[in-house]
Amino acid sequence: MQAINYTKYGPLNVLKLEEVRKPVPGNEEVLVRILASSVNFGNVALVKGEPFVSRFWSGLIKPKYTNPGSDISGVVEEVGKEVTRFKPGDEVIGDLVGCGLGAYAQYVACPESVLAMKPANISHEQAASVPQSALVALQGLRNKGNIQPGQKVLIYGASGGNGTFAVQVAKAFGAEVTGVCSTKNMELVRSIGADHVIDYTREDLFSQGGGYDLILSTAGYQSIYDYKQALGPRGTYVSAGGAMKQVNQGMLLGPLLSIKGGKKLTFLYQRTSQEDLFTMKELIEAGKVMPVIDRIYPLEDTIYAMEYYSKGRSRGKVIITMQDGMAE
């Protein structure tokens, strides 16, 4: 089979398309024929070894994992004898972060605990966008933000991979949603349900009156002090992506700034959750959430997919498809 591998940190051209042996599932594992994957910040960070702190998980000197892909959508081909939730032929999605990665390949063997059934009403390319980005939105808004119906919610980076899910998830929870994006993406953000859209290239976000019950930042950089000012008296700010300065402020300054007053400022560390994947399946099949896809690249063009994603201008998700998924 074909897979994208790398053996050292560096620019994206360290990635190589290679012929490797098809994996054999263990007793508690599922062999999935992967039909599509996607690009996330963490996938690019793994290849580059940046920020350096990420190497404490992925290997200080050289990569611990040789295939940086994490999101998968595909078809179960074989199951181990102790697998109970899936059978050959099932269409599944999953996040491989906690089990060795390997999504940029035609096959992977993984624990059944990281998989969920694919939403029946979308393609594998669309489904591959769900495992990490949709859970960033769900966990950021529900778990960290304690979103409630009728709240005023602001999504910063509303046109990106995480942001397009966040706008729709917030609407599904009954919130009044304001999306922040650039001029060219305003219609997109409106089309996925935002009640209000702010063009950050032309308007000062923090002169719009504020008073938000919940702010989720998924892109760019704004000072955590500005976000705090834009919150209502008992509002919550969740840092869930963007420039490292924005992320670091959420992690380091957030807890300190939350000590006094009623405002809460925090950081989301998205976690793999089979239960949350099933929650997103239900929302998608109910028509409340629909993945937004920008571009689709074949497996052999993974470098180009990552380069495009790294420019920070994608509208929705960047997808990698395994065009010859039966090859061995």
* Residue-wise pLDDT tens digits, 3-53: 999 999 999 999 999 999 999 999 999 999 999 999 999 999 999 999 888
Q: How many domains does the chain have?
A: 2
Q: What is the CATH number of the domain that holds 221?
A: 3.40.50.720
> Is there a single domain that holds both residue 195 and residue 86?
no
Residue 283 lies in a domain: no
* Domain span at 94: 2-131+290-321
> Is there a single domain that holds both residue 123 and residue 159?
no
Percent of the chain with pLDDT over 90: 89
At residue 208 the predicted structure's pLDDT band, cuts being 50, 70 and 90, is: low
Q: Which two tokens stand for residue 49?
A: 């070894």
Instruction: Report the pLDDT value the prediction gives residue 192, as an integer from 0 to 100.
Output: 98
Residue 285 lies in a domain: no
Per-residue DSSP letter, 3? E
> Is there a single domain that holds both residue 170 and residue 235?
yes
> Is there a single domain that holds both residue 141 and residue 256?
yes
Instruction: Report the pLDDT value the prediction gives residue 262, as an integer from 0 to 100.
Output: 92
> Is there a single domain that holds both residue 17 and residue 117?
yes
> Is there a single domain that holds both residue 127 and residue 169?
no
> Is there a single domain that holds both residue 9 and residue 112?
yes
Q: What is the CATH number of the domain that holds 16?
A: 3.90.180.10
Residues 6 or more apart in contact with residue 120 via CB below 8 angstroms: 91, 285
* Residue-wise pLDDT tens digits, 126-157: 999 999 999 999 999 999 999 999 999 999 99
d(CA 117, CA 124): 11
More confident call, 327 vs 226 = 226
d(CA 306, CA 299): 11
> Is there a single domain that holds both residue 236 and residue 295?
no
d(CA 127, CA 119): 7
